[in-house]
């Protein structure tokens, strides 16, 4: 059957590879197959519930009939609470008119692109990274892709940015990063900010500036000696050029509650509000009212985070140690030590190996299929995050991980590795 002719975007946009993979895994699980599913960057609410205080406030908010349209920029009491929260926890000063609320981070990222990027504008982003490639495509921007390496924690280096910043409109940085769970160092962040400031000084009065979209959705989830740094604290002069993406999705395991916020210059926030008002991508009124109250409860937040972070870190470290143990046994696997977020970066370098049935794993796609079929391990290849198809690194997400199943999963993986020649 012939496909109808639609827009260029409809014909060229690639759907989410992660959602596609996740759907395939879910189908196998529905059919009774035991799968260790580490693909989705989400939480099992039975393992990681939202804070009980927030849950109660949401229920109360609905009982109070908070079900009408919210203000396009977000209800004022929530924007005031966000202002308090980021000041209290991160030392950032943003007034309510510099804060935009939306239904999670995605519509905010989209409207940052739509507010800043014109057709043909250069957008710098590293790979692997979450969805930057799709947002550049949706705004007809020029992709300026930096291939990142494990030696630099899969983050763009200062040299990478310096080599490409001439003429760039937007630089996208996510730290702690999805998919890698790694962070950008204080030194590198400061030097990248210096490059942006220097570049903007060179641009004329009517010329578009170079902006930084700084996605810090996972910033509270750091482990051990890892610390989160932000551009405006490091370089206060960056405030006119920085748009933060943040929210409750990951910090409170509240992905389905859909409350996110952007912080930025008032003029850009106003344009984002105008775009969002046409999209209708606001967070529900009841949830906004509830989150506004919860963000003021410092003691409850501290208690929740202490437990939540401990549970995530325990899973990340346990799986990391298992992979390093397999590596020490001589298997071609590796892992980056946990730094932040809910992700572990793992390496499964089996391309070219032969199965016990005599089948050669000719490429990374075959490797992914093999570990799924033989070890029942489902993880997302970095190729789904813009990296090359031969990249042997994967994202492993622990948001749905049952601690007691980790030894069993590692044992099955070792058995699958053992069968290869």
267-320 pLDDT, tens digit each? 999 999 999 999 999 999 999 999 999 999 999 999 999 999 999 999 999 999
Whether residue 382 is predicted with pLDDT greater than 70 in this model: the reply is yes
Min mean pLDDT across 27-36, 149-158, 268-277, 330-339 is at 27-36
Distance CA 106, CA 175 (A): 16
Distance CA 308, CA 253 (A): 9
347-356 pLDDT, tens digit each? 999 999 999 9
Return the number of other C-beta atoms located less than 10 Å from residue 28's C-beta: 16
- CA distances (Å), origin 131, targets 160, 177, 181: 20, 12, 15
Distance CA 339, CA 229 (A): 13
Whether residue 1 is predicted with pLDDT greater than 90 in this model: the reply is no
Q: What radius of gyration do the chain's Cα atoms show?
A: 22
The residues, ordered by sequence, that sit 6+ positions from 2 with a Cβ below 8 Å of its Cβ are: none
Confidence of residue 377 (pLDDT cuts 50, 70, 90): very high
Return the number of other C-beta atoms located less than 10 Å from residue 281's C-beta: 18
Residue 289 tokens, joined: 């009212």
pLDDT score, position 14: 80
pLDDT score, position 376: 95
More confident position, 31 or 148:
148
Peptide bond into 291 cis (omega under 30): no
CATH of domain 65-297: 3.40.640.10
Confidence of residue 192 (pLDDT cuts 50, 70, 90): very high
Which residues belong to CATH 3.90.1150.10 in the chain? Answer: 8-48+302-418
Which residues belong to CATH 3.40.640.10 in the chain? Answer: 65-297
Mean of pLDDT values over 32-42: 92
pLDDT score, position 206: 87
Angle at 318 between CA 314 and CA 319, to 5 degrees: 120
Distance CA 273, CA 100 (A): 7
Peptide bond into 41 cis (omega under 30): no
Mean of pLDDT values over 233-251: 98
Give just the sign of the alpha carbon dihedral 183, 186, 188, 193: positive
pLDDT score, position 25: 87
- CA distances (Å), origin 253, targets 43, 230, 250: 6, 22, 5
- CA distances (Å), origin 28, targets 21, 142, 177: 11, 38, 29
Min mean pLDDT across 26-30, 192-196, 312-316 is at 26-30
Give just the sign of the alpha carbon dihedral 180, 185, 190, 195: negative
Mean of pLDDT over the chain: 96
Mean of pLDDT values over 14-21: 76
pLDDT score, position 2: 72
Distance CA 341, CA 312 (A): 8
pLDDT score, position 415: 97
Mean of pLDDT values over 244-257: 98
**DSSP string of 213-269, one letter each residue:** EEE-TTTT-B-TT-----HHHH-GGGGGGEEEEEESTTTTT-TTT--EEEE--HHHH
pLDDT score, position 276: 97
CATH of domain 8-48+302-418: 3.90.1150.10
Whether residue 20 is predicted with pLDDT greater than 90 in this model: the reply is no
Mean of pLDDT values over 80-109: 98
142-167 pLDDT, tens digit each? 999 999 999 999 999 999 999 999 99
33 neighbors 399 (Cβ within 8 angstroms): no
């Amino acid at each position: 059957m012939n496909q109808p002719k639609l827009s260029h975007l409809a014909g060229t946009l690639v759907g989410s590879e992660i959602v596609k993979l996740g759907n395939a895994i879910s189908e196998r699980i529905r059919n009774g197959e035991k799968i260790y599913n580490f693909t989705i960057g989400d939480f099992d609410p039975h393992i990681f519930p939202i804070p009980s205080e927030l849950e109660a406030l949401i229920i109360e908010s609905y009982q109070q009939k908070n079900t009408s349209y919210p203000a396009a920029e977000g209800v004022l009491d929530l924007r005031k609470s966000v202002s308090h929260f980021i000041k209290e926890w991160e030392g950032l000063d943003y007034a309510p008119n510099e804060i935009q609320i939306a239904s999670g981070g995605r519509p905010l990222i989209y409207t940052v692109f739509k507010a800043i990027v014109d057709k043909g504008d250069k957008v710098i982003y590293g790979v692997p990274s979450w969805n930057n490639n799709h947002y550049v495509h949706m705004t007809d921007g020029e992709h300026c892709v930096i291939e990142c390496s494990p030696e630099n924690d899969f983050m763009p280096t200062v040299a990478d940015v310096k080599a490409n910043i001439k003429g760039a409109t937007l630089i996208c940085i996510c730290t702690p990063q999805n998919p890698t769970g790694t962070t950008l160092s204080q030194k590198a962040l400061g030097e990248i900010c210096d490059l942006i400031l220097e570049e903007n000084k060179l641009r004329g009065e009517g010329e578009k500036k170079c902006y930084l979209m700084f996605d810090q959705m996972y910033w509270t989830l750091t482990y051990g000696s890892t610390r989160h740094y932000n551009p405006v604290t490091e370089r206060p002069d960056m405030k006119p050029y920085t748009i933060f993406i943040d929210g409750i999705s990951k910090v409170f395991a509240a992905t389905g509650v859909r409350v996110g916020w952007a912080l930025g210059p008032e003029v850009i926030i106003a344009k984002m509000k105008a775009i969002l008002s046409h999209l209708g991508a606001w967070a529900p009124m009841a949830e906004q009212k509830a989150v506004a109250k919860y963000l003021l409860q410092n003691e409850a937040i501290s208690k929740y985070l202490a437990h939540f972070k401990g549970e995530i870190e325990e899973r990340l470290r346990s799986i990391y140690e298992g992979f390093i143990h397999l590596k020490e046994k001589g298997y071609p696997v590796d892992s980056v030590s946990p730094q932040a977020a809910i992700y572990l970066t793992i390496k499964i370098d089996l391309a070219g190996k032969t199965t016990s049935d005599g089948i050669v794993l000719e490429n990374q796609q075959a490797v992914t299929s093999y570990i799924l079929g033989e070890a029942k391990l489902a993880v997302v290849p970095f190729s789904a995050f813009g990296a090359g198809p031969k990249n042997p690194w994967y994202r492993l997400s622990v948001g749905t991980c049952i601690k007691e199943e980790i030894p069993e999963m590692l044992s099955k993986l070792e058995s699958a590795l053992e069968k290869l020649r």
